[in-house]
Structure 1
Amino acid sequence: MTRTQNRSPKRVMAAALAGAMAFAAPLALVAPVTPVAAQSASQQLDQVVTALRSITTLKADFTQTDRAGKTVSGELTLKNPGRIRFEYSKDVNMLVVADGKSLTLVDYEVAQVQRWPIKNSPLGALLDPKRDVKRFGKLVQTGNPNVLSVEVRDPKKPEYGVITLVMVKDAASPGGLKLHSWVALDSQNKRTTVRLSNHRYGVAVSNSAFRFKDPRKSSRRPR
């Protein structure tokens, strides 16, 4: 039996999340149908940009669900610019962390580390201050005036998959919008949904929270 076969379903889901986050692309350009629709989309994208850029730090609980309904959970920590950490529950011996430059998946059970540039990740919409979300964002109509959705897709690179950010109007959140969830769909149509709850803004977060202990035998130094 291979290592992959030995891995628990929860840990496979965690790895799938990291892969989905790592292989996406810049947001596709909006193609408005009419000038009125373009103005409305522009205003809403302005709201999304303002909300994302207004977050200094955020802690939230997250629940990650695959298309079969299997779920893992943990705590998300975000610090702008460029840092995020997904701390899974104790039964999932993995970590996903971004330090401002790279998104890293750390699998402690098999002593494996995988790393991707943030600029190649859909999380760049959250973490990369150089990412022009308004210019490259595609607004998806939700039918609910209190819910805004932005799709991340590169039609020239379908292997990168798709990710959709969902924002909910909330006066208590920075910029008046709360990051509620996102849905990642990879090139094999494997869907992963991440939902956030118990948002805490402006909490003190040290940069050391975005380092990790390298499990590989050749390097046990904190990174």
Structure 2
Amino acid sequence: MIRTLLLAALVATPAVAAPLDEVAAALAATTSMTARFTQTASDGRVATGRMQLVRPGKIRFDYDKSKLLIVADGRALSMIDYKVGQVSQWPIRNSPLAALLDPAKDLARVARVVEAPAGQVRIAARDPKRPDYGTLTMVFVRRADAPGGLALAGWTALDAQNNRTEVVLNTVRSNVAIPKSTFTFRDPRIRTPGRPG
């Protein structure tokens, strides 16, 4: 379920230039963000937790009822499973979240606007060189108090095996102070001297 969030990438459909410019401006105006999230997998399983983000390149997902942690430190995106003591890592540029985290990402090259209800903007993007990363569609809602007038409301990820994961954000706060230590983690593969396990 959570691997879908990491390994999906970005889709292309009919383009509308102006909303893409709006999204790019809103992302440029967003330096940080915190939110609660609800994640729903294709099989209906639901997970909740807290997301913290600092652009460029940093994001953290703490799950409420799981020993999994997802952290991007500006270079690598890491999935840490404390239950089995395993760490998996990918370059951020190979992640679907690159469109959200990388200010240098050219949305006009990788993203397209898709149909959305009134008051929303939805963009979908895909790395044309790596379609095997899957697809990601981000949802923004128009809000006067949000940076650039658009607030990120969530996204839907689809991997190469057609596994779908939907993430919905709530209690979103933008441009807030977040400690640098947020984007570090305890490596479960390294044992503390004098402690069992």
TM-score normalised by L of structure 1? 0.80
Structure 1 counterpart of 2:156: 183
Structure 2 counterpart of 1:203: 176
Distance between the aligned counterparts of 1:82 and 1:150, measured in 2? 20
1:32-71 equivalences under 5 Å are 41-71=16-46
List per-residue Cα deviations over 1:41-75 (Å, max 9, x = no partner). 21111100011111111100000001222100000
Distance between the aligned counterparts of 1:70 and 1:208, measured in 2? 30
- What is the root-mean-square deviation of aligned Cα atoms in Å? 2.0
Structure 2 counterpart of 1:150: 123
Structure 2 counterpart of 1:79: 54
Distance between the aligned counterparts of 1:80 and 1:178, measured in 2? 15
- Aligned with 1:214: secondary structure? coil
Q: Does 1:160 align with 2:148?
A: no
Structure 1 counterpart of 2:98: 124
List per-residue Cα deviations over 1:135-173 (Å, max 9, x = no partner). 33211122x231111112245544211110111111111
Distance between the aligned counterparts of 2:172 and 2:115, measured in 1? 25
- Give the aligned residue type for 2:149: G
Structure whose CA Rg is larger: 1
List per-residue Cα deviations over 1:91-143 (Å, max 9, x = no partner). 2001001011111101111111111111111111111122111333211122x
The answer to which structure has the higher helix fraction is 1
Contact 1:125 1:131 in 2 (8 A): yes
Distance between the aligned counterparts of 2:130 and 2:72, measured in 1? 23
Q: What stretches of structure 2 of length at least 5 have no aligned partner?
A: none
Distance between the aligned counterparts of 2:128 and 2:17, measured in 1? 21
Distance between the aligned counterparts of 2:137 and 2:160, measured in 1? 14
Contact 1:49 1:134 in 2 (8 A): no
Q: Highest relative contact order (Cα 8 Å, sep 6+), 1 or 2?
A: 2
Assess, with a 3 A threshold, how the Cα gap between structure 1 residues 17 and 76 changes in structure 2: closer, same or farther: same
User: Aligned pair count?
Assistant: 193
Distance between the aligned counterparts of 2:176 and 2:151, measured in 1? 16
- Give the aligned residue type for 2:184: R
Assess, with a 3 A threshold, how the Cα gap between structure 1 residues 219 and 185 changes in structure 2: closer, same or farther: farther
Selected match of 2:5 from 9, 12, 17: 17
Give the fraction of aligned pairs with identical amino acids, expressed as a percent: 45
